[in-house]
Amino acid sequence: MSVLKLENVSKSFKRFKAVDYMSFSLDEGKIYGFIGPNGAGKSTTINMIAGLLKATSGTITILNEDVSNKNIRKYLGFSSEFPVFYNDMGCLDFLIYMGTLCGMSYKEAYKEALYLIDRLALSSFENKKVSSFSTGMKKKVGLAAAIIHHPKLILLDEPTANLDPDSRLEIIEIIKELASDNKTILISSHVLSELETFIDNVLIIQNGKLVLDASMEEVQRTSDNATLIINSKDQRLRAFLDHKAYIYTLNDGVYRVKVDNDAKSSIKKYIVENDIDFKELYDENMSLNDLYESITKGERHETDHS
């Protein structure tokens, strides 16, 4: 089931096109990483989904309702990179207020606010003004405000930025719990090594265009820029790699060979057919950072030559 759908969405600011005919959909119960260079159009896209910006053209629907329909806001939660709070509101009062704005009764909002404050280790600060909190604590309150009303779609912009390691793990665990409860989460983040540990799908945007929309399983399965790890002291293997001019490093009998799919098949075939003795042979999949670099650099090169 598609919770969010963008169809040919564009956004222009005078002569500058920030988002260029973007189309994608997000399914229920999955976590999506939304990544790209600064200025690629991520924040503009998220703000359009959240209803904070109006698209120049195209359609955005949440649960088949256009985002211009105010009724869909109860299905949407949004936490920005730098959440803003009322100067005179305490943490508990703020969360209750946000819950009631999203259609909850006071009793429901109060109960859920207390749960989230405890879940996010903010109990000692529940009556203190959020405006006086550290950046990391504000990030936690922003997340709580985004999910207090149990929305179906949650937009998170740099949710773990400025948090200590324990708090980062805590936030990631909450995000996983939300997905297991059939919530759909779209996360914009620059911490790719962290993001790849828990997202289901990745969307990469460059120059306002979507250049990749794939599951992490598809990314690993189709990667043509992986590393083959071979633990072998058989000198015939080294002679073969040198003969084929494969790029590799060798440390204490362990080869790390940069391979595409064809090279990988060729090496494995040679090892089997020549009865090469080895202790280990496995693929080291491309990291999300490697994928990001390969796609965005390639896209930049194409742009430079166009």
**Residue 219 near residue 213 (C-beta atoms within 8 A):** no
Tell me the C-alpha distance between 205 and 244, whole Å: 36
Select from 179, 147, 174 the least CA-distant residue to 28.
Answer: 179
All structural domains of the chain with their residue ranges: 2-220, 224-284
Tens of pLDDT, residues 201-246: 999 999 999 999 999 888 877 665 678 899 999 999 999 999 999 9
Structurally, at CATH architecture level, domain 224-284 sits in 2-Layer Sandwich (3.30)
> How far is CA 189 from each of CA 46, 225, 240, 244, 272, rounded to the nearest angstrom?
12, 23, 42, 39, 43
Q: Which residue did the predictor score with more confidence, 257 or 296?
A: 257
Select from 2, 21, 4 the least CA-distant residue to 186.
Answer: 4
Tens of pLDDT, residues 62-115: 999 999 998 888 999 999 988 889 989 999 999 999 999 999 999 999 999 999
- 135-147 vs 91-101: helix crossing angle, rounded to 10: 30
Structurally, at CATH architecture level, domain 2-220 sits in 3-Layer(aba) Sandwich (3.40)
Three-state DSSP state, 88: coil
Nearby residues of 19 by Cβ (< 8 Å), 6 or more positions away: 9, 10, 11, 41, 44, 45, 48, 55, 208
Whether the predicted model's global pTM rises above the 0.75 cut = yes
Q: How, if at all, do strands 2-13 and 76-79 pair?
A: unpaired
Q: Is 54 exposed, middle or buried (0-12, 13-18, 19+ CB in 10 A)?
A: exposed
**Residue 93 near residue 41 (C-beta atoms within 8 A):** no
What's residue 287's pLDDT?
79
